[in-house]
Structure 1
Amino acid sequence: MTETTDQQALIARLNSETAKISWLELQKHYASGNVLVVRPGADLIKVAIALHLDNTAEVQAWLADGLLAEVSDQQALVWYDKNKLLWALVIPPFVLVQETEITQQTK
């Protein structure tokens, strides 16, 4: 396989593993400190690939720019109160989340 084919396969796999999930279902992972938020302006799949490939320089740049961050207690509370629906993707040991425009109405 070529590098391009490998990357295309990785992108396809990560896209298929991405799903919407309510913040309430992510509480256990948040409590463990394993949830990272991908801010608007950053591509969830691109961030996942960088983590998967251990691209430290790119990940550190996103952290420095605020495009990737640990979920703050304040943000977690807002998402909890709104029962926020988020895009999620697991890149062990992390769960990457990114906001969607949809909010569920019931807890």
Structure 2
Amino acid sequence: MQTKPEQDIELHAKINRETARLPWGELAKHFASGTVVWIADELDLVDVAVRISHDDKASITQWMAAGQIAKVSDEQAQRWNDSNASLWASVVSPFILVQQEKRKTH
């Protein structure tokens, strides 16, 4: 059966409620175990989490090929550690999806 992640309003709401801003220091141990995945700023973190939950391979493959989703690199982890970065995080077991806070324009 084909799932329709864009219509899963309940899961979207649940993931949205459970998404939080966390300091990189709290995510570092998960990075060490290889479970932290970076999501590009142009993507919606909650939408990506819903699509991963639904195993939407087409979208995930497309985003990975475009460099919009990737495991956090050692260099990125070091930059976030050095800057005491705070990231938006969403858990989609076994992964923790992270996204840098988008800057607001005035």
- TM-score of the pair, normalised by structure 1: 0.87
In the TM superposition, what is the alpha-carbon distance from 1:101 to its structure 2 partner? Answer: 5.1
Answer whether contact 2:38 2:97 (CA < 8 A) is retained: yes
| Structure 1 or 2: more strand by fraction | 1
1:12 is paired with a residue whose SS is helix
Aligned twin of 1:36: 37
Aligned pairs (5 A) from 1:88-103: 88-100=89-101
Aligned twin of 2:73: 72
Aligned twin of 1:9: 10
In the TM superposition, what is the alpha-carbon distance from 1:82 to its structure 2 partner? Answer: 0.6
Tell me, in whole angstroms, the C-alpha distance in 1 between the residues paired with 2:79 and 2:99: 14
Deviation string, structure 1 residues 37-89 (Cα, Å, up to 9, x no partner): 00111110111011100111110110000111111100000000011000000
Q: How many residues align?
A: 99
Unaligned ranges ≥5, structure 2: none
- TM-score of the pair, normalised by structure 2: 0.88
RMSD: 1.7
Unaligned ranges ≥5, structure 1: 103-107
Tell me, in whole angstroms, the C-alpha distance in 2 between the residues paired with 1:40 and 1:17: 19
Amino acid at match of 2:78: L
